[in-house]
Amino acid sequence: MQQEFFYGIDQLTIGSALAIAGGKTKGVLNKTAIGNIQKSQQYVQEIVATNRTVYGVNTGFGVLANKPVSEEDTRTLQHKILQSHSVGVGAPIPVEVAKLMLITKVHALARGYSGAQLETLQRIIWHIEQDVIPVVPEKGSVGASGDLAPLAHLFLPLIGLGEVFYKSTRYKAQDILKQFGLEPIQLGPKEGLALINGTQFILSFAVKAVQRMHYCLEAADIIGAMSLEALTGTKAPFDERLHQLRPFAGNTLVAQRLRLLLHQSDIMQSHVDCGRVQDPYSLRCMPQVHGASRNAWLHLKQLTEIELNSVTDNPIILSADDTISGGNFHGQPLALPLDYACIAAAEAGNISDRRCYLLLEGKWGLPMLLMKDVGLNSGFMIPQYTTAALVTENKTLCFPASADSIPTSLGQEDHVSMGSISGRKLNQVLDNLEFILAIELLSACQAIEFRRPLKSSEILESAHDYVRQFVSFAEEDRIFADDIDQIKQLISNFSFVEHCNAFAGMKKVNLNTGFEAFGL
């Protein structure tokens, strides 16, 4: 049975936002939320009727805040703001991200501080439920005064303008409305401003990034453990006693996961007296490096969930006599942690590439380039070129967008967050990280077979067997791009991690026990 989420009343989490977007949970307006919405809208009507000057209700916007607008023009003003602010450029953002923008905006408006009409929220919910998702260009927001351009495009279909995706096809919004027998909405006073003020573009990219980065970091531990096994590394650096002496949460979690992943490995047991004193950092320091990325991830998750339940438009309507024009639309609170997470995700790829390189060196009993007959064959030499290229590309994406600000609106909006760029960049880094991890997994699966007949732990053997359902052992060169794409899909659709977690659960092992904050 489909669960219900009450917009404006319940606490929205990353998991529940994604569940609504995925159709697993139904977002609804209950009586309390409807009452709050109608009360706030009534306050706006009273402001207009009494001719009390309130920014965005009966004034212009931005640098035009001191320009009065007559009562008869207040509705026209809201229609025009959607038109004038629809200046986005570039490719459309992913449909799921646009859908998350709709969901997060409904939740914010349903709190009852924005003056939106009930009919408007109901129409947005219709778009969500029917999967009629507006086309939103990826570029044009500076992340302050709200994500003005993308939100303007997001809500053009409400007034019969713009475009939408429906059943994987792009249509003019007016044609889809006609198809469903619907008329454009007549926006009320302040509604256009309430729709385009807010951080929902930044926020929705953050939600998606938190989900994707979570699975990448979970995969990185599993894949790193497989590489360590293939390279006959030691598990001594993951000893709990060591990490109690430097108890960062992410570090101790990763160390615990590695201990459990390597538990009862025949490969590990086979070389306990090999005489090797230390492993390279990319093996030995996985708890410190993966753990630092997890700490950054947790910070982003926590701040994203605060933003999910915040009111970020302007002005805030407390009553007909009490309004506050402030700066809750400013994206800086998310811009900084998004940039931090961008560096953290890039570092997870950086250390993964180093392990890819180690697997190729022909050390510790592995054949050079992970193939017996090299010379005629290049083996796994060239996939590591790809990880090197992707790691460098990620480094170029790590410049913090939030470190920059360019004044807009003739200086009225003189400091902006650029958080929209932070959110998009993080997801670009995650695109590359998924490929890097896929190449390490491809290489580790190849390498571990040179340890036969010895077996790794049950969980890691299950991970290896799962990959082998899609990609076979390479006896000679082939088009490795096909293998990389296959395994990348297992990373990006989360099935690799979900398979490993399900197998561990079947064995009554919870890799993350005691660290529930690191879950979605």
Backbone angles phi, psi at 47, to 5 degrees: -60, -45
State yes or no: pLDDT of 238 exceeds 80: yes
Q: H or E stretch including 337?
A: helix 332-360
pLDDT of res. 13: 98
Q: Which residues contact 446 (CB under 8 A, 6 or more apart)?
A: 370, 380, 473, 474
- Say if CB 315 and CB 56 are below 8 A apart: yes
Tell which wins on pLDDT, 107 or 74: 107
What are the CB-based long-range contacts (under 8 Å, 24+) for 476-485? 476/371, 476/373, 476/376, 476/377, 477/371, 477/377, 477/378, 477/379, 480/380, 480/382, 480/383, 480/442, 483/442, 484/383, 484/386, 484/435, 484/438, 484/439, 484/442
Mean pLDDT of the 387-406 span: 97
Count of helices and strands (H, E) across the chain: 20, 9
pLDDT confidence tier of residue 58, bands split at 50, 70 and 90: confident
pLDDT of res. 518: 97
**Percent of the chain residues topping a pLDDT of 90:** 90
Q: Provide CATH code, domain 206-405+415-518.
A: 1.20.200.10
Mean pLDDT of the 432-445 span: 98
How would you class 477 by CB atoms within 10 Å of its CB: exposed for 0-12, middle for 13-18, buried for 19 or more? middle
Nearest Cα neighbor of 496 from 484, 488, 505, 508 is 488
Mean pLDDT of the 120-148 span: 96
What are the CB-based long-range contacts (under 8 Å, 24+) for 368-376? 370/443, 370/446, 370/447, 370/450, 370/474, 371/474, 371/475, 371/476, 371/477, 373/476, 376/476
Mean pLDDT of the 462-470 span: 98
pLDDT of res. 62: 67
State yes or no: pLDDT of 61 exceeds 80: no
Sheet holding 163-166, edge to edge: 133-134, 163-166, 169-172
Report the DSSP beta bridge partners of residue 6: 28
pLDDT of res. 53: 78
pLDDT of res. 377: 97
pLDDT of res. 323: 93
Catalytic positions, please? 55
Q: Where are the domains of the chain?
A: 4-197, 206-405+415-518
Domain 4-197 homologous superfamily, CATH: Fumarase/aspartase (N-terminal domain) (1.10.275.10)
Q: What is the mean pLDDT of the chain?
A: 95
pLDDT of res. 281: 98
Annotate 190-213 with b (16+ C-beta within 10 A) or e (fewer).
bbbbbbbbbbbbbbbbbbbbbbbb
State yes or no: pLDDT of 48 exceeds 90: no
State yes or no: pLDDT of 240 exceeds 90: yes
pLDDT digits (tens, 9 = 90+) for 212-234: 999 999 999 999 999 999 999 99
How would you class 13 by CB atoms within 10 Å of its CB: exposed for 0-12, middle for 13-18, buried for 19 or more? middle
Mean pLDDT of the 468-474 span: 98
Place of tokens 């953002």: 93
Mean pLDDT of the 201-209 span: 98
pLDDT of res. 274: 78
Mean pLDDT of the 469-473 span: 98
pLDDT of res. 77: 85
pLDDT of res. 1: 63
